[in-house]
Amino acid sequence: MMHQSINKNKLYLYLFFLIFLSSIFNFQILENYKDNFSIKKININGLSLHEKKIVEDELNNLKNKNIFKLDKKIILEKLNKFNFLEKIYVKKAMPSSININLQKTNILGKTLRNGKSFYIGQNGKFINSDQLLEKNITASVFGDFNISDFLILQEILKNLQVENKKIEKYFYYKNKRWDILFFNGLTLKLPPKNIEKSVRIYKQLFDSDNLVNKKIVDLRVNNQIILTNNNE
Each residue's pLDDT tens digit, 158-207: 999 998 889 999 999 999 999 999 999 999 999 999 999 999 999 999 99
Inside any domain, residue 38: no
Which CATH number do you get for residue 186?
Answer: 3.40.50.11690
Inside any domain, residue 175: yes
In contact, 133 and 48? CB cutoff 8 Å = yes
**232: confidence class by pLDDT, cuts 50, 70, 90:** low
Burial of 1-34, coded b for 16+ CB within 10 Å and e otherwise, reads: eeeeeeeeeeeeeeeeeeeeeeeeeeeeeeeeee
Q: Which residue has the higher pLDDT, 215 or 231?
A: 215
Q: pTM above the 0.85 mark?
A: no
pLDDT, mean of residues 55-81: 91
Distances (CA, A) of 188 to 93, 104, 124, 199: 53, 30, 24, 9
Inside any domain, residue 157: yes
How many structural domains does the chain have? 1
Query: By residue range, what is the domain housing residue 186?
Result: 139-229
pLDDT, mean of residues 61-73: 89
> In this structure, are strands 126-128 and 116-121 parallel, antiparallel, or unpaired?
antiparallel
The lowest-confidence range among 1-10, 48-57, 85-94, 141-150 is: 1-10
In contact, 157 and 199? CB cutoff 8 Å = yes
Q: Which residue has the higher pLDDT, 115 or 191?
A: 191
> What is the percent of the chain with per-residue pLDDT over 70, rounded to a whole number?
83
Distances (CA, A) of 6 to 1, 11, 12, 15: 9, 9, 10, 14
Inside any domain, residue 177: yes
Burial level of 82, CB count in 10 A (0-12/13-18/19+)? buried
Name which of 119, 123, 125, 124 is nearest 103 in CA terms. 123
